[in-house]
Amino acid sequence: MGAAREDFLRLYATSPIHVTRLERLLAAYGDDDDEREAFARRFIDWDRACPDTEAARIVTEIISTCSDESGRLRRLNDEVVRGAIRWMADAKHLSVPDRAQRLSNSLQSSLLPPPIF
């Protein structure tokens, strides 16, 4: 396992059950170890560029549950994932649970972060 993948799991797994969920997430975002490592590195970079320390962690929880009708994890494009982190950080007028629910609903239905009102 590469350093970025290890960092990804260390940063975003808040319990042992999250490790398995995040490993599944990384598998969906890369067809091989190099792609998984690259996605983990990009995600950590997006997190570090975000002023909200919890936004990226919450997004990992949400995108790790975005599945299609057959139960397979959906792979969102990088712009959608990065936009989800930014939206989660910027929509401060909503409570964290409200932001998480709106983002989850949006990603499951249209794969786009909801607009900030």
Split at pLDDT 50, 70, 90, the class of 113 is low
Question: What's the rounded Cα separation, in Å, for the pair 85 and 82?
Answer: 5
CB contact at 8 A, 35 and 29: yes
Single pTM value for the model: 0.87
More confident residue, 112 or 54: 54
pLDDT single digits (tens) 15-32: 998 899 999 999 999 999
